Structure 1
């Protein structure tokens, strides 16, 4: 499997730009000007404005003119924020060299932005940092796109071939439309470009589902006279080639992963320091008094991308041979008295905040299942594997909606997966906060299936 490092490009650009800002201030400062509060302010201001203005949203097909637009927009806001500091904290004093520093920042970052673009294109022209692509259909629009992939290597696309229901003698012909799934399963394919004139709506729907399950980007090539919904964004690879991006899921944007991870770390540290630090010794005594065995119960569960990890819980059962095979049921004889209390209050899940710190889980997400049960659920529920594109959570939308604990009928797992997928497709930071608050309220209110 090809190693991916493209996800590091934007973080590196952000770090480099913030370094340039701080270095410019340090290099051209006067003694009164240089202070920690200003450096912190200007760095944070740059970080948040660049995020909200999409300053780092530069793609393989982005043109130099668009980058110039991004620079003008970013520096217009940065200019206001830069001088707002002096108005608020220096009572409007003109500090020596402040215009020189601002000019140095603007010139340096502009130069670095275009240099970065040039070096990336040069690097890609040598066959590095590429994305493998296949195309479905072979109409005029597709032929233009293929020609673009083959003629402009600096875009970083490695064209593998095309699929069509018509047979062609070309070496690029990979087979008919039915062979798309088999080919992309057995080969590394990053992006599929699909001509809308070659497939009907049902076929595109199935292809989109397959692409989501496999983590492949699906892009649509429209006919010139078509109109499209707001759920699709139009991009131009060349003056004559239009491509539709299928609406991205929230977690396909790297910044959402970082935002969620930062919150997970701080929230989990808070729980570990202010709750688990004193709760663990107390529970160790109580659990040991009632039954033999360790305080922490370890169980292998499925995580992101189906990878296995060790999930931690406070032990709520007597040591038994079926703990890793069978979920707890109502009035389960294996559950101890202190264990019943832990389960009722969901305190048995608290050690999973350690899993969050280790990076195996998130505070909010689909609950992780045992591998044996996961294989069974995959047979019964469509889109089940879509749960694996995010980290599992300590709590989730399905859990606060009543679908937690024991699966007694098929509709339980169907509804759980339905809510998990809704969460993945509609994630926001505030949705996570809402789920956490509702989870805490449910603990005090009590839940019927908390056993």
Structure 2
């Protein structure tokens, strides 16, 4: 389904949701204190407004509330709205009542109750109104387009399959034009040779032409493109490279020369990389000062009491651009000769009792915040592997080394999706690599915050793959 206004309606949903949220907060304030002047001049109220708005943004991003706003049916729409609201309430309670504290900004429990209930009620009513509009005016929201494909080779047939498997995209494929009729295998879809293409397009009010001819037919391609421009028909070229790149790509231009990158890399942007580094420094300092500083002596004493050996386990691991670095952890095993060769397994006899607890809760990773501070690692990124594993799996998995375009992380997209612990098979490692590459291609600051939150949540509830 091609939505002419998909981005517009996504923006409308987000804007109205924030309007409803802030109106609910103001209304709750006025219910408890009807002085408008006090509300406007209350500077202690503004940080709470910021917290509410940021937490709603985080909650919506985690649940994917604003993705495909026009494609969801009513049940799915309300399910994701309800999930987002529950997550929002949970995070508000944790942040306001535990982290910030009610006294810090004079926010009472009554205010929290009124604002949250008002927001939930108004949000539900707004979504009902939007669903009614969407249902009654669905034809306006859909943009069905008549299209043809020129060239019935592999690229053209794969495009035909895509249109067939995605009917809600709204592409009405009328057929193929090709100089070899036998190349069109589906009965009724052959419309003629390329010489008669434009005549058919004009007679049947075709909206778009998808040209899947090989580059060797560049004279035909140029002729069709010029004719399409003259007759206000949108002309799109399906390049041949897609036959050996089986994924979305990133296109940029050097002058009039199109350059195709086989993957987008948001962290190649210096601004994004700088923002991530600043967050890493501030977050690691926070953890080191407020958590590691008092937890370290306790864990150090317990580790020493249970088994002889150093407090820290230091291992050479693969870093960004495959440069090795010393990775720090709290020692969770008895000192052994296989630590640099053999992965930890479930019920591994080398793991100490306190080590089992540290690994289960991921507290053994805390010293890696010093790696983050030094710049060897990031808070979020692909987990660093032993040098021997990098050498082994780089020979077995084609895209294994791609994950080394990024700094390794204390946690990552693979870990919060259960892809952690022992990798018994190459297929298990392949899943982890795919998750790491997905993170590289889809990085955003909000995604990092989401992963950190999910890591904390998994540590609290327990992860069966953490051992």
TM-score normalized by structure 2?
A: 0.47
User: Highest CA radius of gyration, 1 or 2?
Assistant: 2
Larger relative CO (CA 8 A, sep 6+): 1 or 2? Answer: 2
TM-score using structure 1 length:
0.49
